[in-house]
Structure 1
């Protein structure tokens, strides 16, 4: 059984690579939001230049949302990563969207942010603290044992 896995959230560490590498040989298809920060911020630039940063961000967010919405709707399970350095409001939004669609999702974050993520974790099917735990869960999902 193959699974379509959506990787959402923090873009400043290699957690995605760790999961993808750890699942090598499994029948998984991985997708993600654009993880190049500058490219993501410029997604709306094709619609014309903006003098205001607000409107540039607004247009780019909408273009990025097309990708995110489509990939979440197509996925079988989402992994939602919250990192230490930045607030990932987009990840919280993705988790809420998964919950609204009834898509199973797993959160990935440290113990130090359990309290601010209590509502997000309450709807998650699992909470992991390491990419290896995610690899183990995903491999379990497709095991025949």
Structure 2
């Protein structure tokens, strides 16, 4: 019997190495996990719409083109996900991450939030709908090991 491959979508902050830490931890534990995420090169994510569909004079329409193109990727990968991890970083407000948490909730996809303590109050509703809340990528890997195999840290 083959082990289920879990699809885990990594949403949110793109300015630190949290995704790489989770990827490394999953590999070290040999977990049957396929990770996916948005395009994490900020400039590519911002400029994909105009690079593909043509320049815009108005920045609103430039952002609109890029956001809609990125949404196709995000919505598709989130629909395929068994679980989402939604990271809220320290430096920037990740409105897109909050939207992804709401989208996961609407889909009935469980999600784990990942953020520092100082965001607890601002994210109380997002955390309230989450299946779990983690402080660091190591806890996410431990949670995945428990969810998938029942392994304790």
Q: Same fold (TM over 0.5)?
A: yes
Q: CA deviation at 1:2?
A: 1.9
SS at match of 1:106: strand
Q: Which residue of 2 aligns with 1:101?
A: 107
Runs of 4 or more consecutive aligned structure 1 residues displaced over 4 Å after TM superposition: none
Find out whether 1:49 has 2:35 as its counterpart: no
Q: CA deviation at 1:89?
A: 0.2
Q: CA deviation at 1:143?
A: 0.9
Count of residue correspondences: 145
Of 8, 19, 24 in structure 2, the residue corresponding to residue 21 of structure 1 is 24
Q: Structure 2-normalised TM-score? A: 0.93
Q: CA deviation at 1:144?
A: 5.3
Q: Structure 1-normalised TM-score? A: 0.98
Question: What RMSD in Å do the two structures reach over aligned CA positions?
Answer: 0.9
Work out the CA distance in 1 between the residues paired with 2:111 and 2:133.
Answer: 9
Gap regions ≥5 residues in structure 2: none
Gap regions ≥5 residues in structure 1: none
